[in-house]
Amino acid sequence: MKIFITLLMMFAMASGNGTVETAFYNFNVQNIDGEEVSLSEYKGKVVLVVNVASKCGYTPQYEGLQNIYEAHKDDGLIILGFPANNFNGQEPGSDEEIKQFCTLEYGVDFPMFSKVSVKGEDQAELFKYLTSQSNPDFEGEIKWNFEKFLIDKNGSLQRRFRSGVKPESEELLSALEKELAK
């Protein structure tokens, strides 16, 4: 009986850790060109998930996101941009219009995805997952555009940054570089 209980506990702990660490990779999302993408493509990478908008006071953060992507993509960083129109209608365009804006205005070449809802009844499953995860910063619903979720190489949420934290800030860069060094 002791062996059975011990094995049961070991199995529960192992499957619990596996679920937490790999849940991020279980999502499929639609890229800005309408193609389905499995987040499992990013296993082994440090991922920064950002909800973005084209007509927001934080929109210039696209430049910082592109800069850190260019500086660290060869080190294993991937940035995933998810346009959302949840905050004062600041992302009204179609996917094609958003793609054109990001490319022409900011030279964005990190992966962009189809517009999603990041809060409310129609919240995308990925963002339900991300906002439910405990982390050292905070959890709960997204308050505005350009919130950032830092995912480690195992698919676990490590940090979350509010909109006011710029991509090239010391706070975000040090957390990012710490994860890349692992």
- Positions marked active-site: 56
What is the H or E stretch that residue 80 is in? strand 77-83
Give the residue from 164, 134, 133 showing the smallest Cα distance to 147: 164
DSSP helix/strand/coil, 11? helix
What is the H or E stretch that residue 103 is in? helix 95-106
Alpha carbons 150 and 173: distance in angstroms, whole number: 11
Secondary structure E strands in 17-164: 28-30, 36-38, 46-52, 77-83, 148-151, 157-161
Alpha carbons 97 and 142: distance in angstroms, whole number: 24
Amino acid code (one letter) for 106: Y
